[in-house]
Amino acid sequence: MHPLERLVNLVALLLEARVPLTFEQIHETLHEAYDQADVDTAKRMFERDKDVLRDIGVPIEVVYTDAWEIEHGYTIPKDRYYLPEITFSPEEISALFVAAHTGGEDGTAEDAVRKLLYGAEGGVLAGVAGVPLTAEGGVSDARLTAAAEAVLERRSVGFGYRTARGQASERRVDPYGLVCRGGHWYLVGLDREREEIRAFRISRLSTDLTVAGEGSEPPEGFRAGEHVQAGPWGPGEPEERARIAFSPDVIWWATKGIAGADVGETRPDGWVEVAVPAGPGDGLASWVLSFGPDAEVLEPASLREEIVRQLEATLAS
């Protein structure tokens, strides 16, 4: 195993563990990383990895795991590892959004705003890292700006909307936030008719936004980015769900950070079935193939066929 992969796996394991892990538990879980026949040799390699991670700022702590303070384990406190969220007031976000749209032609203002807003999932704008803040992909600056103003002023809006399948309808929405995913802007808010939070791709609006009265406040703990799924299926909105089985060796990290993943019960053979969103394109198939023999697609049949097609293409090349 490559040293970098070993370090990444060690960090992921310690971050997700609910209790401190002893070296024996780490050795058992990451047996491919520390596969030396001699346990003492494996322990020395682990100690070197621990020192490397500490040198680059990963806060690995050693704590006792028993009341007699004999056994000790290793853990990475999440509050010391993750950076705090970046938060802005609505007025500050509004000013930053205007700056991105009115900056110079060299893009300096837009780059600066993107860096400031990166990670600000709880605010009006989310998911803006690495993508343009100005309108694109069929979205007019006027509609994007109107959506931002509606969010900031808590105004309910009405607009015509066409779904990915071409179904047209009139919507009444209380906007809560704007999100950028896969190069597309989404308005996230309460759909008054359906009485649930929905995400609307702004490029699919068939009319301009019109103010329809006072809006409502988002629920406590609302995060706009959580309502626009993005994952291994690639950019765009998932259309169905796929069922995939993962081996015990990879299930503990395979679906970390994938919105909408539903982990099922463990089978008698130790494999775990997981339901994940699936969208158009071959992105999900490539992701499944990255696990090699540790992942098996159960359904849909179209995804299994795409897996076979990619494997045959690889063998033929």
Tokens at 260, concatenated: 């909408």
pLDDT at 201 over 50: yes
Q: Of 44, 63, 81, at which residue does a domain stop?
A: 81
Terminal Cα distance for the chain, rounded? 26
Tokens at 236, concatenated: 């765009």
- 202 contacts 189 by C-beta, under 8 angstroms: no
- pLDDT given for residue 119 in this prediction: 46
- pLDDT given for residue 97 in this prediction: 62
| 139-187 pLDDT, tens digit each | 556 788 788 888 888 899 999 998 765 678 899 999 988 877 656 778 8
- Percentage of residues in the chain having pLDDT higher than 70: 74
Q: How far is CA 35 from the centre of its chain?
A: 32
pLDDT at 137 over 50: no
| 96-106 pLDDT, tens digit each | 665 665 545 55
Quick one: 206 and 277 in the same domain? no
| 17-75 pLDDT, tens digit each | 889 999 999 998 998 888 888 889 999 999 999 999 999 999 999 998 777 777 889 99
- What φ, ψ does residue 189 adopt, rounded to 5°? -175, 180
Could you tell me if residue 132 is inside a domain? yes
Quick one: 217 and 255 in the same domain? no
- Percentage of residues in the chain having pLDDT higher than 90: 29
Quick one: 168 and 134 in the same domain? yes
- pLDDT given for residue 130 in this prediction: 43
Quick one: 30 and 71 in the same domain? yes
As a whole number, the mean pLDDT across the chain is 79
Quick one: 48 and 171 in the same domain? no
Enumerate the H helices of 75-219 as residue ranges. Answer: 78-81, 90-102, 108-117, 141-153
Quick one: 58 and 128 in the same domain? no
Quick one: 134 and 222 in the same domain? yes
Domain that residue 134 falls in: 90-227
Could you tell me if residue 235 is inside a domain? no
Query: Distance between CA 185 and CA 52 in Å, rounded?
Result: 40
Quick one: 248 and 272 in the same domain? yes
Q: How confident is the model at residue 10 (pLDDT cuts 50, 70, 90)?
A: very high
The more confidently predicted of residues 93 and 212 is 212
Quick one: 116 and 74 in the same domain? no
Query: Distance between CA 119 and CA 221 in Å, rounded?
Result: 15
Q: How confident is the model at residue 221 (pLDDT cuts 50, 70, 90)?
A: confident
Could you tell me if residue 120 is inside a domain? yes
Could you tell me if residue 298 is inside a domain? yes
Quick one: 211 and 128 in the same domain? yes
Q: Of 28, 55, 81, at which residue does a domain stop?
A: 81
Quick one: 117 and 174 in the same domain? yes
Q: Which CATH number is 53's domain given?
A: 1.10.10
Q: Which CATH number is 255's domain given?
A: 3.30.70
Place of tokens 């997700």: 16
Could you tell me if residue 233 is inside a domain? no
Could you tell me if residue 152 is inside a domain? yes
The number of distinct structural domains making up the chain is: 3
Q: Which amino acid belongs to residue 242?
A: A
Q: Which amino acid belongs to residue 290?
A: S
Could you tell me if residue 185 is inside a domain? yes
Enumerate the H helices of 17-107 as residue ranges. Answer: 23-29, 39-55, 78-81, 90-102
Model pTM above 0.95: no
For every residue of 284-305, DSSP letters joined together read HHHHHHTTGGGEEEEE-HHHHH
Could you tell me if residue 232 is inside a domain? no
Q: Of 175, 203, 227, at which residue does a domain stop?
A: 227
